[in-house]
Amino acid sequence: MLRLRIFALALLLTPAASAYAAPLMPSSTPTMEDVDPGVDHTGRDKDLPSELRRQSVYYRTEQPPGTIIVNTADRYLYLIMGNGVALRYGVGVGRDGFQWGGIQKISLKREWPDWVPPPEMIARQPYLPRWMAGGPGNPLGARAMNLGGTVYRIHGTNAPETIGQAVSSGCFRLVNDDVIDLYSRVPLGTKVMVQHQ
């Protein structure tokens, strides 16, 4: 334990620490089975490479605890916990031409949401359904959190291979395990900072 404290102090005192997020101990947060027992799910945290799995990291920021920071270049979402610590989640981000940056707030939260593709998406992909019921096969996955009055969301996915990739139309996707965990931690009105570099 003493070695861990010395290591943590060394990280916080080094100049590079402000841009560095180092892993802490593994998170003991709920899994899909804990939250929705008896349902066969895809998109689990364990389906991800270790660097994209949810974990506590050292993260220096002036933002208050509870803030979400999405770094689209690094393909991580950080939930600021305070005292130089954040929960880091691997995310899929917008593909070329669909990246964006700015500040929004979580304006709506839904469990197993229905999917209604926005008109802009239907114009690009007219073969899409106009509505799809929520459930394990839905592209929004287990949870969705709308960002302000935009068409963008933080949502789940049943395709863990898309995490760490630039594949979406501007939304941020997490595996279902992770979006359930994040959803349980953040209320409506949570500040979301999207850093696009």
Report which residue type is found at 80. Answer: I
Dmax over Cα atoms in the chain, in whole Å?
59
Q: Return the structure tokens found at 87.
A: 């929960």
Of 163, 171, 174, 175, catalytic: 171
> Which of 144, 81, 88 is closest to 115 using CA atoms?
144
Helix or strand or coil: residue 121?
Answer: helix
Block residue for tokens 């031409």: 97
171 part of the active site? yes
Q: Return the structure tokens found at 191.
A: 């500040």
Of 142, 155, 156, 157, catalytic: 155
41 part of the active site? no
Positions annotated as catalytic residues are: 155, 171
